[in-house]
A and B are shown apart, each in its own frame.
Chain A
Amino acid sequence: GQQLNQSPQSMFIQEGEDVSMNCTSSSIFNTWLWYKQDPGEGPVLLIALYKAGELTSNGRLTAQFGITRKDSFLNISASIPSDVGIYFCAGYKGGSEKLVFGKGTKLTVNP
């Protein structure tokens, strides 16, 4: 089935650094979602984006819905060790379409 192109696949950063990851698609989505999955847990919804160009923040996290509706990015500022985990993007086209997921970005933060 269709998947979103999520990059990078993994990141190794130092505590305090900023992080940026993105998702792209060849087709248009009406909703973009960003989830974080901690080891041994289910994905937790971080940010939901519903409109092209929308920029939304949740604490140190900021996500944007691309103008073309074919991409989205997530930024994490001033990373801390508890930011470690796998971040998934997901897109929704509308109607009876299912949620489409990226392959995830695995983030490691070195203290």
Chain B
Amino acid sequence: SAVISQKPSRDICQRGTSLTIQCQVDSQVTMMFWYRQQPGQSLTLIATANQGSEATYESGFVIDKFPISRPNLTFSTLTVSNMSPEDSSIYLCSLSRTEETQYFGPGTRLLVL
């Protein structure tokens, strides 16, 4: 496993603004992922963020709305752009050292008013 931290842990934002969520890992890892968990729901993959390449987005998620950076092997950011109340969710980063197993950060709880 690894120690994964996310900032902020929670935020309340106004519609139309943007929020950047940071994910920091205590050791180098190639594969990192960003998920969204809407209230009372399961986890939905937004994108895969591997260092040295563009993020790969899942169907229904686009780079203009969820730009991702992966500047090195221990850090990634996800920006939620031009927010609306529908973006209110928990946003989770995860990492994988082997293809099969993922470990999750504590999440960022976002409420958009």
Identify the A interface with B (CB < 8 A).
1, 3, 30-31, 33, 35, 40-45, 48, 50, 88, 90, 92, 94-95, 98-99, 101-104
Contacts and interface: CB of A to CB of B under 8 A. Distances in A.
Interface stretch (B13-21, B40-48, B62-70, B75-83): B40-48
A3 B42 contact: yes
Given A30-B100, A42-B92, A45-B1, 5 more contacts: A31-B100, A42-B4, A95-B99, A98-B48, A99-B45
A43 B104 contact: yes
Contacts of B59: 1
Nearest to B102: A99
3 A-B pairs with least C-beta separation: A42-B104, A31-B100, A42-B107
A88 B1 CA distance: 18
Contact of B107 (A41, A90, A94): A41
A43 B1 CA distance: 13
User: Which of B4, B43, B58, B102: most chain A CB closer than 10 A?
Assistant: B43
28 contacts: A30-B100, A31-B100, A35-B104, A40-B109, A42-B4, A42-B92, A42-B105, A42-B107, A43-B104, A45-B1, A45-B101, A45-B102, A45-B103, A45-B104, A48-B101, A50-B100, A88-B43, A92-B99, A92-B100, A94-B99, A94-B100, A98-B45, A98-B48, A99-B45, A99-B102, A101-B42, A102-B42, A104-B42
Interface of B: 1, 4, 41-45, 48, 58-59, 92, 99-107, 109
Contacts of B103: 45
Contacts of B48: 98
A95 B99 CA distance: 8
Contacts of B104: 35, 42-45
